[in-house]
Amino acid sequence: MIRNVLRLVPESHRAMVPGYLAMIVLSALAQAAAYVLLVPMLGAVLSGRVQDAWGWTAAIAGAALLVCVGGYRQSVIGIRIGIGMALSLQTRLGDHIATLPLGWFGSATAGRVSQLVSASVRDVMGVFAHLLAPMLTGVVVPVAVALGMLFVDPRVSLAMLLSAPLLYLVNRWGQGVYSRAEKRVHAAAEESDSRVIEFAQAQPVLRAFGAAGDGNAGLQGALQAQRRVGRGLVWASVPGLVVFSLLVQLTFVLLVFLAVALAAGSELSVPSAIALIAVSSRFVEPLNQSAELTTAMRGAANAADRITGLLATEPLPEPEEDPRPVDASVRFTDVRFAYDGGAPVIDGVSFEVPAGTTTALVGPSGSGKTTLLRLASRFYDVDAGEVAVGGHPIAGYRSGTLMAQFSLVFQDVYLFHQTIEENVRIGRVDATADDIARVAGIARVDEIVERLPDGWSTDVGEGGTSLSGGERQRVSIARALLKDAPIVLLDEATSALDPRNEAAVVRGLRELTRDKTVIVVAHRLSTIRHADQIVFLDAGRIVERGTHDELLAADGRYARFWNERSRASGWRLAAAAEPVGASTVVEEAR
C-alpha cells in the first residue's frame, strides 16, 4: 500500500525518507519503552517503595524526551517531503499530459485531471505530512510493548502477540471493502467535476432550453450519484471499523482478565497487576488510532495508483531523428482508424494532396472528414496504413516539427482566458505589432478591437465567452494567419460568421491559403467549386474523387450532393398572412 506512494517521492527528496522513517521508529520505540517502564515504576509506587520509583521515573522521562525529539524531527522532514511531492507531482503531471496524444483528451478529461492535480496530489502528500507517522507508530508501539512485556510477564506478552494476526486480518478485510467504495467515489467525483465545468461553460445553451437549474438532468444526476456513492463510502468504512474496534476492546478485556486472574492466584502481585492493566490500555489505544488512519492511507494509496496510472500512460512516441520536410504535400495510404476500438471511422482511405493545391473533403455527417484532418495533424495514430507529410511518415517527425507544418482552423474555437492580443499572438509569440495588425486587418479582428473599450487588452473570458461565435472564429483565423505554416487545415472555418463577415474572412482565408497546401472540410459551394481536388467520403471510404466539373459530369454521389446543396441555397423564409395572426413558412425562391 505504501510502496506506490514511496515511488512518487521526487529524486531530490528520496534521501530524506530513511531519516524520516528512522525518526518514526525511534519515537515509537521510545514511546513503547515508556509504557513498559510504567510497570516497575507503578509497582514500586503502589508497593510503597517510592525511592525505587525515582530511577524508573527518570528512565521514563528520558524515553519521553526521545519521543519529543523524534516526533519533532519526523514532522519537519515529513512536511518537507510532502510539499516537495506536491510541487513535483503537479509539475510531472503537467509535463506528462503535454506529451500525450491529443486523442487522449476527451469530454471527461477536465474532471479527471482536476481531481488528479488537486485531490489526488493532496491525498498523496498527506501521507508524509501527517498520516504515515501515526499509522506506523500505531503498529510499532503495540508490537514493541508486547515484546517488552516478555521481561515483565511472558504470559501477558504472549496474549498480546496472539491477538495481532487476528486484528491484522480484520483490518485488511475492512480496508478492502473501503478501497472498492473509495474508487467508486473518485469516479463519481470525476464525472461531477466534468458536469460542473460543463455547466459553467454552457450557460447560454442551458438557459435557452431551461436546463440551467433543476432541469439540467446531467448535472443533477452526477451530483446525486456522487452523494449516493459518498454515503456508500461511509457505510463501507463502518463494518471494518466496528469489528476492529470490538476486537481491540475484547483484547483489552482479555488482558485485564488475565492480569486479575494472575493476581487472584497469587502468581502476580496486586501492584504489578494494576500496572499491567494500565499498560494494556496503552497497548490497545494505538491500535484503534492506526485502524482509523489506515482508512485514510488506503484512500491515499488509491490516489497514488491513479497518479501512477496517468504517468504510465504512453506518451506520443518521439523519434530520435527529426527529418526535414521536403515539401508541403500530404499523403494518405490505405489508412484505417477506429475510435477506442469501435467500428472503423476511416476504412482504407488513400489519396494525395500535392504541395500548393487545395483538396476539399465532402460527404454526409459522420463520413470521416474531420477525422482525416485529425489524423493528418497526428491527434491520433492510425490503426493501419500511413499518413505522410512532406515526404516522410508523420510518426517519424518530432511533434514540434510536425505541428510547425500546420495552421489549423477548426469549427470549435477555443480562446484562452487572456486578452485578444495574447490569443492572436499564440500563432507566433515573437510576432511584432505590425505583424499582428496585418493579420487582424485580414481577418477583420481590427473591427472587434475598435468597438471594445479596452481594445487589444480586452480579456475574452474563459473559452472566449465575451465574444460571439463569429468573433471567436475571426480571432482563430488571425492567429492561423500569424503562424503562416505551409499546410492549412480548415474545418468549416466560416460556419459561425454572418454573410458580411463571411465575405471578409473568406478574403482573409484566401490570403492564408495563398501558395499553401490546403485540406478543407466544407459544405459551402464556393469553397468546393474552386478546389483542385474533391474527395467525396461516405462511411469512412472514398466514394468519388476528382475536380468539380469531372464529378458533376460523372453524375454520381457528388453530383446529387451538389444539386441538393444548390436547391437548399435557394430556400428562404417568408411571412404568410392568415386569418388569425401570421405564421412563417418556408418557400423555394424562384
CA distance 104 to 108: 10
**Is 346 in contact with 370 (CB distance < 8 Å)?**
no
SS (H, E, C) 322-337: CCCCCCCCEEEEEEEE
In a domain, 586, yes or no: no
For residue 46, pLDDT over 80 is answered with no
What nine digits make up the cell of 302? Answer: 488509491
Q: Are residues 450 and 530 in the same domain?
A: yes
CA 195 from chain centre, in angstroms, equals: 14
What pTM, to 2 d.p., does this model score? 0.63
Are residues 558 and 572 in contact, defined by beta-carbon separation less than 8 angstroms?
no
Residue 321 lies in a domain: no
**pLDDT category of residue 530 using cuts at 50, 70 and 90:** confident
Percent of the chain with pLDDT over 70: 67
Q: Which three cell numbers stand for residue 53?
A: 520509583
Q: What is the CATH number of the domain that holds 424?
A: 3.40.50.300
Please indicate, yes or no, whether residues 215 and 343 belong to a single structural domain of this protein: no
Of 195-204, 207-216, 465-474, the least confident: 207-216
| Domain total in the chain | 2
Residue-level pLDDT at 26: 92
Higher confidence at residue 264 or residue 533? 533
Q: How sure is the predictor about 60, in pLDDT bands with cuts at 50, 70 and 90?
A: confident
Does residue 560 lie within any of the structural domains?
Answer: no
| 375/305 same-domain check | no
Q: Of 255, 279, 311, which closes a domain?
A: 311
| Banded pLDDT at 333 (limits 50, 70, 90) | very high
471 and 354 belong to one structural domain: yes
Cα–Cα–Cα angle for 521, 525, 529, rounded to 5 degrees: 90
Rounded to an integer, what distance in angstroms lies between the CA atom of residue 252 and that of residue 323?
73
Question: 581 CB contacts (<8 Å, ≥6 apart)?
Answer: none
Same domain, 351 and 271: no
pLDDT in tens, 297-321: 777 887 888 888 888 888 877 788 8
pLDDT of residue 167: 64
Contact 67, 141 (CB under 8 A): no
pLDDT in tens, 214-231: 545 556 666 666 666 666
Q: Looking at per-residue confidence, does 166 or 561 come out higher? A: 561
Asked if the structure places residue 47 within a domain, the reply is: yes
Q: Is residue 575 scored above 60 in pLDDT?
A: no
Confidence of residue 581 (pLDDT cuts 50, 70, 90): very low
In a domain, residue 123? The reply is: yes
Residue 174: per-residue pLDDT: 58
Average pLDDT over residues 498-516: 69
Residue 380 and residue 260 share a domain: no
Q: Are residues 151 and 205 in the same domain?
A: yes
Indicate if 356 and 485 belong to the same structural domain.
yes
CA-CA-CA-CA torsion sign (164, 165, 167, 168): positive
Calculate the dihedral angle through the C-alpha atoms of 80, 81, 83, 84, rounding to the nearest 10 degrees.
110
Joined together, the cell numbers standing for residue 120 give 489526488
Q: Which residue has the cell 505504501?
A: 2
Phi, psi of 509 (to 5 degrees): -65, -35
How many Å apart are CA 476 and CA 427, to the nearest integer?
A: 9
> Do 558 and 565 form a contact (C-beta atoms < 8 A)?
no
Query: Does residue 87 belong to any structural domain of this protein?
Result: yes
According to the model, what pLDDT value does residue 536 have?
92
Same-domain status, 124 and 271: yes
Q: Tell me: do 288 and 350 sit in the same domain.
A: no
Q: Are residues 347 and 307 in the same domain?
A: no
Q: How far apart are CA 50 and CA 47, in angstroms?
A: 8
Residue range(s) defining the domain that contains residue 126: 3-311
Is 580 within a domain?
A: no
**284 shares a domain with 401:** no
Q: What are phi and psi of 220, to 5 degrees?
A: -60, -45
Give the residue with greater pLDDT, 88 vs 139. 88
pLDDT tens for 173-206 read: 655 655 566 566 656 665 566 666 555 555 555 5
In Å, the largest CA–CA distance within the chain is: 119
> Pick from 528, 572, 243, 567: which is nearest to 360 by CA?
528
Average pLDDT of the chain is 76
Burial class of 386 by CB neighbour count within 10 A (0 to 12, 13 to 18, 19+): middle
481-493 pLDDT tens trace: 888 889 988 886 6
The b/e string for 285-308 (b: 16+ C-beta within 10 A; e otherwise) is bbbeebbbbbbbbbbbbbbbbbbe
Q: Which three cell numbers stand for residue 151?
A: 521481561
Residue 215 maps to which CATH number? 1.20.1560.10
Asked, for residue 227, whether it belongs to a domain, the answer is yes
Radius of gyration of the chain (CA): 35
112: which residues sit within 8 A by CB, 6+ positions away? 190, 193, 194
pLDDT at 278 (0 to 100):
67
